[in-house]
Structure 1
Amino acid sequence: MAPRDSGILQGEKTDSQGAGKLGALLMSCSKILIIGSGITGLSCAGKLADAGLNVMVLDKGRGVGGRLATKRTRCGRQFDHGAQYVTARAPNFHAVLRSMRAAATVDVWEAGAPEPHFVGVPGMSGLPKHLVTGLDVSQNTTVETVGARDGGWTVTTQTDSLAASHVVVTTPAPQITPLIGVDHPLTRRLLSVEMAPCLTLMAAFKDGQPIPFTSKRMPQQPLSWIAYNSSKPSRLSQGCWVAQASVDWSVENLERDNAELAELMLPMLCAQIGADPSAAQYVAAHRWRYARSTSPLGEPFLRDNSRTLYLGGDWCIGPRVEAGWISGRAIADDILKRI
């Protein structure tokens, strides 16, 4: 495992005497399991690991990052088909992005926006790949249940049962109840959270096609966001566009298969960029069933009465990558405070 660069920012470190006492306590702690390797899971795991805790991240996917995702095709095309960019309002998160930019895993996309749009390099997945360095991550691991046991928790996967002193669940809110059970007290708190889907089109065109804009937001249109993906820094392929549907259109068409979605969305994209649909060399659709928190919880995380089960994610605060990072850090702070 590669060593971690410290993710602790100025003002977050304890004094040397306190750190020594904390270190002795941490050595006696059982493993902390974090379910989900999106921005919330990685930001939480990173701070806990930097403090010396025994942390493992479990994720059902083949790659880390959740919606900070990059699709690479066999023909060499590349698309950021999830989160399009990251903005920072909190000073600590802005400092994290600056450090990533210094490490050449994040850069600024000059898209004409009033605030900097940070993007991963060479794709959006570059951002979570930076955060995961040195962490213990088990991928292709589907968690089925989280159950209480004497003094801790048992996390059951499709192949194993793992013991933990603490469990942090960072999946989308609608996916949590099947893990913790409908009778768990926190399940009722999740009922107020609403999340909306997002359907995404990826299309690549022959050279010479028009590029009328870098990005375009159209909240009232079926395609509410269109971006020339190849205009982002360090992108490896040209002619690549990403279009994301509005909440209403996504809800209405959520259960269509991907081939049908691509067939419906391509003409809408071409109408906006002035391209001929027959000039498309690659077309595909992707379904994000839980993409946007339309009615967030209103607090950074939930914690059960044992104070060792935590639920968090961007659904706690709002539909921004930074919200997920804040949630993960807040959980880590609470765990460290209570040890």
Structure 2
Amino acid sequence: MTVPIAIIGAGIAGLSAARKLHDAGLTVHLFDKSRGSGGRMSSKRSDAGSLDLGAQYFTARNPRFVSEVNRWHSEGWASEWKPHLYNNHTDGQLTPSPDEQTRWVGNPRMSAITRGLLGHLTASFMCRITELIRGEKHWHLQDAEGNDHGPFSHVIVATPAPQATALLATAPKLASAAAGVKMDPTWAVVLAFETALDTVIDGCFVQDSPLDWVARNSSKPGRDSKPDTWVLHATSAWSKEHIDMPKEAVIEHLHGAFAELMHITVPAPIFTLAHRWLYARPAGAHEWGVLADSDLGLYACGDWCLSGRVEGAWLSGQEAARRVIERLQ
């Protein structure tokens, strides 16, 4: 009987690794504490439609990732987003952004990509793995309910670095490297308006404000145009400073900053929502690709092992899978 490989985390990194291993004829089992796949690429269904609360879009530069994104596009999971993009300057001026790189989004929601990658792979959701136990030959996983999962031949940890640190305890060098990675939080707020706001802006990079980014979610391919939904991301600094602020207060504060930014009368929203990403993005870039203890059969991957971008997460997952395959040959 083939002993499967465990992957903890069903975001882009974990699913990238899972797909590569599966395509190599290996058996994988994914675990995730959330209700479904996606991680920071997930979408939230709401009374105002489907909302991208985390990653707003992604770009592709590495040739391997470009090829993968083209595959997603051909599968109908991803589409090019061509927003009217603006920069907001410290003096309050709004100017069109000269940035012409291709921006991709999941269609009809960001999570379409991770759902597509997941396919029929074996996965256990709403299952938070708290401990990895190494036996003589194999790994066993323990979840928050005290249940045992296993045996597994290898384990790939594909979670944000602070969550990975505890799981890597059996490999102190890996745990130490992960513990050194700082990840910044982000408050995300959704505002939905009955009537479309009178602006040409679809997305804006913001300076000198509690806000870092705003986007007209309804301008993305496949999204409902009504109501007019906007996603606001606060800066890491503001989010850190107000990390424990009640959601209602966060919405009020960022709604005010949004109204100030847009230079138009912003009516009262018909729907609001706030979501706190504790580990939104790594504070710095690393070039590890993957953290690995091949003798133990333990690996860690994620955007924090590379560029901090969706592309970095996917490439890191590929590298983790490659190391496992290499080990098994």
Choose the corresponding residue for 1:198, options 180, 186, 190. Answer: 186
Q: Report the CA distance between 1:227 and its aligned residue.
A: 0.7
Q: Report the CA distance between 1:278 and its aligned residue.
A: 4.3
1:36 aligns with 2:9: yes
Choose the corresponding residue for 2:79, options 98, 107, 119. Answer: 107
> Who is 1:23 aligned against?
none
> Who is 2:27 aligned against?
54
Choose the corresponding residue for 1:264, options 234, 243, 253. Answer: 253
| TM-score normalised according to structure 1 size | 0.87
- AA at the equivalent of 2:148: S
In the alignment, is the contact (CA less than 8 A) between 1:219 and 1:246 conserved in 2?
no
Separation in 1 of the partners of 2:187 and 2:140? 35
Listed one character per residue, the Cα deviations across residues 139-172 of structure 1 (whole Å, up to 9, x for unaligned) are 1111010121111211111252122110000110
Matches within 5 A, 1:139-288: 139-157=125-143, 158-162=145-149, 163-181=151-169, 184-238=172-226, 239-274=228-263, 276=265, 278-288=267-277
> Who is 1:116 aligned against?
102
Q: Measured at CA, do residues 205 and 218 of structure 1 come closer, stay the same or move farther in structure 2, by a change above 3 Å?
A: same
> Who is 1:45 aligned against?
18
Listed one character per residue, the Cα deviations across residues 265-323 of structure 1 (whole Å, up to 9, x for unaligned) are 11111222245454311111110000111123421111125241001100011220000
- AA at the equivalent of 2:112: G
> Who is 1:80 aligned against?
52
Separation in 2 of the partners of 1:319 and 1:273? 29
Q: Measured at CA, do residues 208 and 66 of structure 1 come closer, stay the same or move farther in structure 2, by a change above 3 Å?
A: closer
- AA at the equivalent of 1:245: A
Separation in 1 of the partners of 2:168 and 2:49? 40
The total of aligned residue pairs comes to: 311
Does the residue aligned with 2:320 lie in a helix, a strand or coil?
A: helix
Structure 2 unaligned segments of length 5 or more: list them: 85-98
Separation in 2 of the partners of 1:265 and 1:230? 19
In the alignment, is the contact (CA less than 8 A) between 2:215 and 2:230 conserved in 1?
yes
- Of 55-64 and 266-275, deviating more is 266-275
1:133 aligns with 2:119: yes
> Who is 1:64 aligned against?
37
Separation in 1 of the partners of 2:239 and 2:158? 23
Separation in 2 of the partners of 1:306 and 1:257? 46
- AA at the equivalent of 1:64: S
Q: Report the CA distance between 1:255 and its aligned residue.
A: 1.2
Does the residue aligned with 2:30 lie in a helix, a strand or coil?
A: strand
In the alignment, is the contact (CA less than 8 A) between 2:165 and 2:176 conserved in 1?
no
Separation in 2 of the partners of 1:39 and 1:222? 28
Q: Report the CA distance between 1:62 and its aligned residue.
A: 0.5
Separation in 1 of the partners of 2:287 and 2:148? 33
In the alignment, is the contact (CA less than 8 A) between 2:166 and 2:175 conserved in 1?
no
Does the residue aligned with 1:108 lie in a helix, a strand or coil?
A: strand
> Who is 1:10 aligned against?
none
Does the residue aligned with 1:284 lie in a helix, a strand or coil?
A: strand
Q: Report the CA distance between 1:206 and its aligned residue.
A: 1.9
- AA at the equivalent of 2:240: V
Does the residue aligned with 2:41 lie in a helix, a strand or coil?
A: coil
Identity rate, percent? 34
Choose the corresponding residue for 2:288, options 257, 281, 299. Answer: 299
Separation in 2 of the partners of 1:84 and 1:270? 20
Q: Measured at CA, do residues 140 and 192 of structure 1 come closer, stay the same or move farther in structure 2, by a change above 3 Å?
A: same
| TM-score normalised according to structure 2 size | 0.90
